[in-house]
């Protein structure tokens, strides 16, 4: 991500207010917000750690991230009781593993090789 110019990864968690659990207006508003912000690389609803919404976004710098979080809070304050963001510097020396799809590619390659071994047995 650094090579692409992104320095910040943000994981934002939110808890919806009890008044809006199945609000279709909120769902459409959330979809519009996600499509308006291509920096959001993942967004979903589910349950965990006292939240029921999660979004992962990438940002050029901290100022860009801060602006994004403020917009999110402003646009959704009526719908959510809590919005919290975990911000990670992608330039930090504390990163255990950088974002990479190489590991996934390796797993898929191993899986493909295993399938080929199985087919070889039946050939």
49-62 pLDDT tens trace: 889 889 999 999 99
Q: Span 2-95: which CATH code?
A: 3.30.70.920
Per-residue pLDDT 10s for the chain (123 aa) are 667 789 999 999 998 887 766 677 888 888 899 999 999 999 998 888 889 889 999 999 999 999 999 999 998 888 888 899 999 999 999 989 888 778 888 888 877 766 655 555 555
Q: Which two structure tokens, joined as six digits, stand for 39?
A: 């920096």
CA distance 64 to 6: 10
Q: How far apart are CA 76 and CA 41, in angstroms?
A: 19
What was the pLDDT predicted at 21?
62
What is the domain partition of the chain in residue ranges? 2-95
**pLDDT recorded at residue 25:** 80
- Assign 15 to helix, strand or coil: strand
CA 23, CA 53: separation in Å to the nearest integer? 14
Which pLDDT does position 112 carry in this prediction? 75
Per-residue pLDDT, 102: 82
Rounded CA-CA distance 94/79 in Å is: 35
């Amino acid at each position: 991500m650094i090579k692409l110019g992104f320095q910040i990864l943000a994981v934002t968690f939110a808890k919806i207010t009890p008044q809006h659990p199945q609000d279709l207006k909120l769902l459409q508003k959330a979809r519009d917000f996600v499509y308006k912000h291509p920096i959001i690389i993942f967004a979903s609803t589910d349950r965990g750690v006292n939240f029921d919404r999660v979004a992962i976004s990438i940002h050029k710098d901290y100022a860009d991230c801060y602006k994004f979080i403020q917009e999110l809070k402003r646009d959704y304050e009526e719908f959510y009781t809590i919005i919290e963001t975990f911000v990670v510097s992608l330039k930090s020396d504390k990163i255990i593993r950088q974002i990479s799809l190489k590991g996934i590619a390796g797993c898929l390659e191993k899986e493909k090789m295993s399938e080929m071994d199985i087919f070889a047995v039946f050939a």
